[in-house]
Amino acid sequence: MTAHDDGATARTALAQLDAVLAAWVAHLRELTSKDGRVSNELLDRHQVVAFDLAHATAAVEAARESLRFAEGAGPLERALAVSFAGDAVTRVRDLVARDPAACGISEELRQRTVESSEVRAFVAYATSPARADEIVALLEDSPSGPSRGLEEHHVSYAEEFRRFAQNVVAPQAEKIHRHDLLVPKEILDGLRELGCFGLSIPERFGGIQPDEAPDNIGMIVVTEELSRASLAAAGSLITRPEILAKALLKGGTEAQQAYWLPRLASGESMVAVAVTEPDYGSDVAGVKLTATRTEGGWLLDGVKTWCTFGGYADTLMVLARTDPDPKAGHRGLSLFIATKPRFEGHDFEHVQTESDGRAGGRIEGRAIGTIGYRGMHSYECAFERYFVPAENLLGGDGALGKGFYLQMEGFSGGRLQTAARALGVMQAAQETAFSYARDRRIFGKPEIAYQLTRVKLAKMAALVHAARQLTYRAARLVDAHRGQMECSLVKLFSCRAAEWVTREAMQIHGGMGYAEEFAVSRYFVDARVLSIFEGAEEVLALRVIARALLEAEGATT
């Protein structure tokens, strides 16, 4: 196989996977359909097959997008795309081989597609040590890495926020992580000045997003650069305002949009999201925290957990049950905007006074100790008859019972932004591993001279590049008011990828990778949270991605 035809061969190999995935979907649809609709109960009986289907689909879509981008790019981008295509074929082949019958894949189909001599020859070529050598050589000749394919104004975004991340965030990142400190004022003020909090807010509300069209690529590029320096102390700061802003734009009243969006855009209001509860994580339909009508507003009672930035934030987006009938499920939930003072410690308590609109309400928070993702602190927050004025019911009375849907609009943006956070962490880990492998000597030679190290570095680069192009594709879909499922797909893919990349980057560092003085250890523990928050990967794979694939044809529930 020669360089001029390897892209075409890769696309041909991926086309073979389409037949496999189509048979897989058709078989699972047959197993999970009831009265012409996809049944969650039946889907739960086939969780392993559905979970694997979601991951297989994500790998194929990432490979396809990487190859599409490579068509107009240079040798490095083409080499990375072909390498990852080989890896994607291997992933799907291995998942199917575990239990072909459970996936609905006949032996004849396997032999004709993923086990054919042509596909096997392509995989051997694309994933060979020789190809890894080529990629590493190209990376050494391209210090800035592969092209991202960005427009000029997005390149400016990247350069501006990279300077801020390197000069302001990076020097403080390790201290914040090791001592579990709050994000310092210098970082918050600097990001306010750069307009960071207005990235997803239209210009008419004081943001920097064009009024005529969304620009999620800009948000992703900025998130990547900040997350390279620190996931918790910089890259995640815009997640919560992003979620609330999307919910407001989707269903907020004109008065709410006019009041809150400028405050979010300027960073005047710092946001936390209070959705998860101790007994209900991704299953938000089971939320128990109640909102009860009272004169002039609502009273919140209950407990929320994993409320990141809940101490310092003065604005909380709270999902609460306004319909006490448990049979109402997600249709009995509404969204509220609660306010409180800022606190800088790991514990806080606020008792409302008349200046809050009503005296006596109380909120108490306790920071949860975590192995990584330090800087913003994640709290368990208890609300006791906490007053929220009527005008802070998001969407007004007309949106009663629609909180779940408004929240999901916000979470879709949050998942896309989480994929960008994963990109930043992966990029930092890959660059650190590459640099360390060149400098470290083992048995008289640089570590990068060894075949296994070069294979790892090449795979890292291919994985990061594929994840980035898949993320950009999802962003373009969201800009076109589509892509809800794709946001979950890219979150699933990128966050799992970040775990592998940071793990191998740590391994390349040897014993020093386990030392806190090396940033790679922070990348590793930070990456682990990515597959958990903003939708655990199991829930995304089963209830969002697999379900969407099965519902692509036919009726839905």
Residue 2 confidence (pLDDT) above 90: no
User: At 337, is the secondary structure helix, strand, or coil?
Assistant: strand
| Cα 129 from Cα 120, distance rounded (Å) | 16
* 419 touches 483 (CB < 8 A): no
Classify each residue of 338-360 as buried b or exposed e, where b means 16 or more C-beta atoms within 10 Å of its C-beta. Answer: bbbeebeeeebebebeeebbbee
pLDDT in tens, 193-210: 999 999 989 999 999 988
Q: How sure is the predictor about 117, in pLDDT bands with cuts at 50, 70 and 90?
A: very high
Sign of CA dihedral 408, 413, 418, 419: positive
User: At 378, is the secondary structure helix, strand, or coil?
Assistant: strand
| Interstrand relation of 297-308 and 290-294 (parallel, antiparallel or unpaired) | antiparallel
What pLDDT shows up at residue 533? 86
Q: What is the DSSP letter of 263?
A: H
What pLDDT shows up at residue 143? 83
Sign of CA dihedral 326, 332, 333, 334: negative
Q: How sure is the predictor about 459, in pLDDT bands with cuts at 50, 70 and 90?
A: very high
pLDDT in tens, 355-395: 988 889 999 999 999 999 999 999 999 999 999 999 999 99
Residues across the chain: 557
What pLDDT shows up at residue 212? 84
Which of 464, 336, 460 has the alpha carbon at shortest distance from 391?
A: 336
Domains of the chain, start order: 6-132 (1.20.140), 271-404 (2.40.110.10)
Other CB atoms within 10 Å distance of the CB of residue 384: 16
| Cα 405 from Cα 333, distance rounded (Å) | 9
* 56 touches 496 (CB < 8 A): no
What pLDDT shows up at residue 280? 64
With both helix axes pointing from N to C terminus, report the angle between 152-164 and 216-229 in degrees, rounded to the nearest 10: 30
Residue 72 confidence (pLDDT) above 90: no
What pLDDT shows up at residue 481? 85
Where are any strands of DSSP class E within 309-412? 315-321, 333-339, 347-351, 362-368, 378-389
Q: Which residue has the tokens 């523990």?
A: 525
Lowest mean pLDDT among 401-415, 453-467, 528-542: 401-415
HSE-up of residue 193 (Cα within 13 Å, Cβ side): 9
What pLDDT shows up at residue 556? 37
Q: Which residue has the tokens 């007053």?
A: 387
| Cα 531 from Cα 422, distance rounded (Å) | 9
- Residue 306 sits at the vertex; the CA angle it makes with 302 and 311, to the nearest 5 degrees, is 85
Q: What is the mean pLDDT of residues 175-196?
A: 95
Q: Which of 534, 537, 538, 551 is catalytic?
A: 534
Residue 555 confidence (pLDDT) above 80: no
Sign of CA dihedral 544, 219, 518, 83: positive
Token representation of residue 446: 């640089």
DSSP 142-211: -TT-S-----HHHHHHHHHHHHHIIIIIHHHHHHHHHHTPPPPHHHHHHHHHTTGGGTTSBGGGT-SB-T
Winning range, highest mean pLDDT, from 313-327, 476-490, 493-507: 493-507
Residue 3 confidence (pLDDT) above 60: no
Active site residue 203: no
Q: What is the mean pLDDT of residues 122-126?
A: 94
State how far the alpha carbon of 133 is from the alpha carbons of 123, 128, 379, 447, 502, in Å.
16, 9, 47, 13, 21
Q: What is the mean pLDDT of residues 249-257?
A: 95
Q: How sure is the predictor about 285, in pLDDT bands with cuts at 50, 70 and 90?
A: low
Which residues contact residue 435 at a Cβ distance below 8 angstroms, ignoring those fewer than 6 apart?
none
Other CB atoms within 10 Å distance of the CB of residue 184: 16
Lowest mean pLDDT among 4-8, 442-446, 526-530: 4-8
Residue 557 confidence (pLDDT) above 50: no
User: At 525, is the secondary structure helix, strand, or coil?
Assistant: helix
Q: What is the DSSP letter of 546?
A: I
The mean pLDDT of the chain is: 92
pLDDT in tens, 8-37: 899 999 999 999 999 999 999 999 998 888
| Interstrand relation of 271-274 and 315-321 (parallel, antiparallel or unpaired) | parallel
Residue 319 confidence (pLDDT) above 50: yes
